[in-house]
Amino acid sequence: MGQSIKDKVAVIGVGCTKFGDRFDQSYEDLAVEAAFAAFGDAGIGPERVEAAWLGTYSPYGGNGKASVALADSLRLYGKPITRVENFCATGTDAFRNACMAVASGVYDVALVLGVEKLKDRPTRGIAREGVHPYQGDGVTAPGMFAMSANRYFHRFGGGRETLAKVAVKNHSNGALNPRAHLQINVTEEQVLKAPIISYPFGLYDCCPTTDGAAAAVICRADMARDFRDDYVLVKGLGMAVTSGRPWFDACYEGVGFASTRAAAAEAYRMAGIENPVKEVKLAEVHDCFTWTEISNYEDLGFCEKGQGIHFIGEGRSALSGDLPVNPSGGLKSFGHPIGASGVRMIYEVVTQLREQAGPRQVKNADIGLAHNLGGPGAVACVVVLGQQ
């Protein structure tokens, strides 16, 4: 196994726009707002950045098709900018690549920016590209994850009432977050009576389609104190890719995601974490659907397979629980502009570790985790951040 980058990279600035139906702002407007918020947080100007990574998944109207979208937005000319696209793990993968470049010593200071405009386009939802003309006909993200949820409940028990607990928790957290898309509380009764999207998922079990941007400024850890005293260190990074056609694997059970388990194992190894349920104090996980959060509890090692229904049922993932999950409101409430989501998770974890999260602050948070899951569970990225 290669060298670890533990404690070699520091996050010195973060920024995030309001997520939601941002018809008032263009792709460039969102990128500029997030980037300059991160610059201001780090106490630098854009000229201090030596390289940048742009995370955008679904370009439309020329926005985000190449790295020039960031160069033109920030006038960041004459410097290396890399565009990253990796399903829903786009933002965390952009952060991962930037961290490796800084840890290698090639750059001292770098910018990571994730941005997406999903509302200003003529089609509904996310366009499917490069799929078989018949195999993919009628396939939707809710439909794919719903099949896994049904299989999971068939094997381990639980049902829509279990999903409702996740929705209620994440909406409650999002209601405390002024940047979240859906700042509303919901009851279990509302969740259970909502229109069905793809059984067992109702309306409140699915994350919204959202516009937004988030940014992070990173630097070599040995120079972080030149910028601020309360910098946050990168402890571990993990990335794993499995087949994009898991249904062709006769051993595929559909009750969890091998990519998350592998990515988490690598991030934990690098960070020196042996018991994540005790050592990780908060987690931002990929709750594109309520059941996905339950499977993530298990795949990230917070509980055994099949025990996620009890993890949520006992309140362990609540703000007041022993391992708060998605204190930001998660994708479910904060929203999911795909390229921005992973960087937004970094923003939330850094904010929590600095104890700047206000009414949603997690107590005694010294180690935080961000996790994205992309495609049909085929791509996963895990980032572990910690205090000095």
* Catalytic site positions: 88, 336
DSSP string, 282-332: EEE---SBHHHHHHHHHHTTSS-TT-HHHHHHTTTTSTTSSS-B-TT-HHH
For 188, counting Cβ atoms within 10 Å of its Cβ (0-12 exposed, 13-18 middle, 19+ buried), the class is: middle
Q: Print burial letters for 216-255: b (CB count within 10 Å at least 16), e (below 16).
A: bbbbbbeebeebbeebbbbbbbbbbbbeeebeeeeebebb
CA 371 and chain centroid, separation: 5
Taking residue 130's Cβ as centre, other Cβ atoms within 10 Å add up to: 6
CA 332 and chain centroid, separation: 11
Angle at which helix 90-103 crosses helix 338-353, to 10 degrees, equals 60
334 within 8 A of 180, measured Cβ to Cβ? yes
371 within 8 A of 300, measured Cβ to Cβ? yes
Helix, coil or strand: residue 270: helix
